[in-house]
Amino acid sequence: MNKCSTVYWFRQDLRLVDNAALTHALEMEDLILPLYIYETGTSRPWGATSKWWLHHSLKSLKNDLGSLCLKRGNPVQILTDLVENTGVKHMVWAKRYDPFGQQTDAQVKAHLTTLGVTCHEMPSGLLHEPGETLNQSGKPFQVFTPYWRACRSRLNLKAPLARPDNLTLSLPPSDRLEDWKLLPSKPDWAESFHHMWKPGEIGAQERLNQFINHGLKGYGTRRNIPSDSGTSGLSPHLHWGEMSPRYIFHAIQNACLHNPDLSSDAEVFLSELGWREFSYDCLARFPELKDKSLRLAFEQFPWQENSSHLEAWQCGKTGYPIVDAGMRQLWKMGWMHNRVRMIVASFLTKHLLIPWQKGEQWFWDTLVDADEASNAMGWQWVAGCGVDAAPYFRIFNPVLQGEKFDPQGHYVRQWIPELKGLPDAYIHQPWKAPPMILGASGITLGKNYPHPIVDHATCRDRALQAYKQMNDS
């Protein structure tokens, strides 16, 4: 092994293109040691679906690099061993923004400094550093629209960096990725994921090209239709840092230069990237975002624990087709359309009165894009207890939401094949279908599709009552 004094520590920046920290490391030294640590003892281990993605993303990165040193354990210990065994003098990494990761990085830095190692940390993964965008009184924005307007007006991003071409790597003994057992087996519930996803930088580039060529036009309206593949599907690639938001931003702007008709859809799309930024801004201010309601009054909310309702929701067996279709899409794809995420989250927190944290935890375990900032923000937004949240009393009616966003029931039929034969008029409320129609469609409620587990009108009243009780207390 060649002697190497610089380690590049990959974390949620599993890419070579537009990776400022990696480029910085290569400017310091031609020969670097590329490292990924599967961290144990973290406050929140990766969910099962995230592990699936991580396995494939690391495999892809290793392929692209030629080699990658893999280690599993406590980063302070692993890096100390590396320094002692290889004489490393510099550590370079891209900043991460989750509270536990930041705490770990501070510990690593403090410890390595005592060993004479210099640590270089570079911003990465966001368009703005959290906390940088302030209102005219110098305070953080509480509302998204003015926040994004302020960010957008001063967005002047440098061109993305090319893939470094001078990669020479040093490699100490590495773990075998397979030995980490990140993939499910017996049963392999992720079998269908391969048809939908290609983790890694090449997969991210293909998604982006596909979106620019076929999804961007009309995105502003198509993004609300769950049966339409009208959104980018870039969320897991962004989460794992397989593509930078700056790279996406430039690609979208270039597409608009060639075709100015795309501009208004492009602005809507960029504002969605803005929500991601806003979520990280909130996480920086409220490190307990995933655990605690930002509106403190919600600490008094009369939530109810009901394990059979929670299980029906998780399994897609609530009897409300749009909710069940979303939860089944999640099982099959490890992903769910944004509109349906809002509907299922509203159903859990308002119809079932189950604490939003239970939903956040389920999504953490099952989404390929599970992200501490965006997930907690999404849940708090729907539950009505977050920053710039939807008011609690706005309770989605799952039948009307289905009729509005899936009028012909394409989405429901795709994910709940047992309802395939139902006419459009009943696809979002099978319990209203006359027995003859149910029979002709091959449906026996309670046998091959559930009766609704709760009644919408009763739940709506109960939720409003609970909200009143909270406000009165």
Ligand X SMILES: Cc1cc2nc3c(=O)[nH]c(=O)nc-3n(C[C@H](O)[C@H](O)[C@H](O)COP(=O)(O)OP(=O)(O)OC[C@H]3O[C@@H](n4cnc5c(N)ncnc54)[C@H](O)[C@@H]3O)c2cc1C
List residues near ligand X by CB under 6 A: 223, 231-235, 238-239, 272-273, 275-276, 279, 338, 341-342, 345, 363, 367, 369-371, 374-375, 378-379, 382
Nearer to ligand X, 287 or 421 (CB): 287
Q: Active-site residue among 52, 53, 197, 275?
A: 275
CA 88 to chain centre: 34
Nearest one of 218, 296, 222, 209 to 252, comparing CA atoms: 209
Query: Can 338 be counted among the known catalytic residues?
Result: yes
Q: Active-site residue among 335, 356, 362, 381?
A: 356
Nearer to ligand X, 76 or 390 (CB): 390
Residue with tokens 């897991």: 236
- Whether 373 contacts 367, CB under 8 Å: no
Query: Can 335 be counted among the known catalytic residues?
Result: no
| Residue 384, number of CB atoms within 10 A of its CB | 22
Q: How far is the CB of 367 from ligand X (least distance, A)?
A: 5
Q: How far is the CB of 108 from ligand X (least distance, A)?
A: 26
Residues 6+ apart with CB under 8 A from 344: 313, 323, 326, 327, 336, 359
Q: How far is the CB of 438 from ligand X (least distance, A)?
A: 32
- Whether 39 contacts 74, CB under 8 Å: yes
Written as six digits, the tokens of 224 are: 């609300």
Q: Can you name the residues that pair with 9 across neighbouring β-strands?
A: 35, 93
Shortest-Cβ-distance residue relative to ligand X: 378
Q: Active-site residue among 224, 272, 306, 418?
A: 272
Residues 6+ apart with CB under 8 A from 148: 271, 274, 277, 278
Nearer to ligand X, 275 or 298 (CB): 275
- CA pair distance 451, 371, nearest whole angstrom: 33
Residues 6+ apart with CB under 8 A from 372: 44, 98, 283, 289, 290
| Residue 229, number of CB atoms within 10 A of its CB | 14
Query: Can 415 be counted among the known catalytic residues?
Result: no
Q: How far is the CB of 381 from ligand X (least distance, A)?
A: 6
Query: Can 303 be counted among the known catalytic residues?
Result: yes
Query: Can 275 be counted among the known catalytic residues?
Result: yes
Q: Active-site residue among 52, 93, 197, 303?
A: 303
Q: How far is the CB of 283 from ligand X (least distance, A)?
A: 11
Nearer to ligand X, 342 or 412 (CB): 342
Query: Can 379 be counted among the known catalytic residues?
Result: yes
Nearer to ligand X, 10 or 269 (CB): 269
Q: Active-site residue among 9, 362, 379, 415?
A: 379
- As annotated, the active-site residues are 272, 275, 303, 338, 356, 379
